């Protein structure tokens, strides 16, 4: 038995085939152009494994329709990437591959990967955030994603702006929401260089940590998860997670007693594989379901 994973991102699609033990056997990547072009490559890739492939998990950029009863279930809905707006992703894949398709957001998929095989293993509730090209979050409680009329959009919460940060924000919808202030492109817009080019002792990192700490603060008070995991490109700054813990402690001011912060606020165990492992695990759940 083999499982498929599609991490559908705004710049590239990463497609993988793996085992029921969630080990990656083969991984390829295609640029995100138009649905017909990109999915032709995706389908060709999975066709090679058609005989053994049992299910595919998709973690997609969005917003997406996740409601099974909705007539547009499985569609990418209101994305600014116009070629993909109102595109029937799950329908197209089902028609081509004839296997069950698990369907969720890119960040939920990564959250699930960490939940089943990373730093969420053995816990019953986690929140996972990515601080990358955008900011997104996924929350899991007892194996289920927390969602309602739609999936959460945790990256667009409002945060208090740091008094030394005069940046107007880069979110096209909300200007200075968390994503507008703290995602990679917001850093690049402030300084004209990417985050990875800023020295580790740059004063800005304390401001960045202030925003991420507020994100942890909100997650703590709203969801009381057992662990908060911060992934994504910006968290590759190795000093960041400790800065976040320190500011978080200060903001919380002992109001609630959290788990030990070194265990409570962490970076992912699976690094770049969280999304793939999560898609495999969601696909595997679909196989076990039937």
Residues that bind Zn ion (CB under 5 A): 156, 171, 173-174, 177, 179
Within 146-185, which residues bind ligand ADP (CB under 6 A)?
184-185
User: Is 236 an interacting residue with respect to ligand ADP (CB under 6 A)?
Assistant: yes
- Asked if 267 interacts with ligand ADP (CB under 6 A), we say no
**Residue with the shortest CB distance to ligand ADP:** 184
Q: CB of residue 108 vs ligand ADP: minimum separation in angstroms?
A: 14
User: What is the C-alpha to C-alpha distance for residues 270 and 32, in angstroms, rounded to an integer?
Assistant: 24
For 204, the token pair is: 């800005």
278 is a site residue for ligand ADP (CB under 6 A): no
Taking residues 110 to 149 in sequence order and writing x for each that binds ligand ADP by CB under 6 A, - otherwise, the string is: --------------------x-xx----------------
195 binds, among ligand ADP, Zn ion, none (CB under 5 to 8 A by kind): ligand ADP
CB 104 within 8 A of CB 151: yes
- State how far the Cα of 141 lies from the Cα of 205, in Å rounded to an integer: 31
Q: Alpha helices, DSSP H only, in the chain?
A: 35-47, 89-97, 106-117, 178-182, 184-191, 204-223, 240-252, 261-264, 274-289
C-alpha distances in angstroms, 78 versus 75, 82, 151, 170? Answer: 9, 9, 13, 19
**Number of other residues whose CB lies within 10 A of the CB of residue 31:** 10
Count the neighbouring beta carbons within 10 Å of the beta carbon of residue 275. 30
Q: How far is the CB of 286 from Zn ion (least distance, A)?
A: 32
Question: Interacting stretch for ligand ADP, rule CB under 6 A, among 76-84, 119-127, 229-237, 282-290?
Answer: 229-237
Among ligand ADP, Zn ion, none, the one that 12 touches (CB under a kind-dependent 5 to 8 A) is: none
**CB nearer to ligand ADP: pick between 214 and 237:** 237
Q: Is 199 exposed, middle or buried (0-12, 13-18, 19+ CB in 10 A)?
A: exposed
Choose between 175 and 272: whose C-beta lies nearer to Zn ion.
Answer: 175
């Amino acid at each position: 038995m083999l499982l498929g994973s599609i991490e559908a991102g705004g710049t590239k699609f990463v497609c993988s085939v793996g085992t029921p033990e969630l080990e990656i056997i083969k991984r390829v990547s295609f640029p995100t152009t138009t649905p017909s072009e990109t999915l032709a490559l995706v389908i060709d890739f999975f066709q090679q494994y058609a005989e053994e492939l049992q299910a595919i998990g998709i973690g997609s950029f969005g917003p997406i329709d996740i409601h099974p009863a909705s007539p547009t279930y499985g569609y990418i809905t209101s994305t600014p990437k116009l070629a993909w707006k109102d595109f029937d992703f799950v329908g197209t894949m089902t028609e081509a591959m004839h296997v069950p398709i698990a369907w969720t957001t890119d960040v939920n998929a990564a959250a699930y990967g960490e939940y089943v095989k990373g730093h969420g293993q053995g816990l019953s509730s986690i929140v996972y955030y990515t601080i990358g090209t955008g900011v997104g979050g996924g929350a899991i409680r007892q194996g289920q994603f927390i969602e309602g009329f739609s999936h959460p959009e945790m990256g667009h919460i409002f945060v208090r702006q740091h008094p030394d940060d005069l940046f107007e924000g880069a979110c096209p919808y909300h200007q200075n929401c968390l994503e507008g202030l703290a995602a990679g492109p917001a850093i690049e817009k402030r300084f004209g260089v990417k985050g990875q080019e800023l020295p580790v002792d740059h004063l800005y990192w304390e401001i960045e940590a202030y925003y991420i700490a507020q994100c942890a603060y909100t997650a703590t008070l709203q969801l009381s998860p057992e662990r908060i995991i911060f992934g994504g490109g910006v968290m590759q700054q190795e000093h960041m997670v400790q800065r976040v813990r320190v500011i978080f402690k200060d903001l919380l001011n002992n109001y609630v007693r959290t788990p030990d912060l070194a265990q409570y606020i962490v970076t992912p165990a699976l690094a770049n594989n969280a999304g793939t492992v999560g898609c495999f695990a969601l696909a595997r759940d679909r196989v076990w379901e039937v």
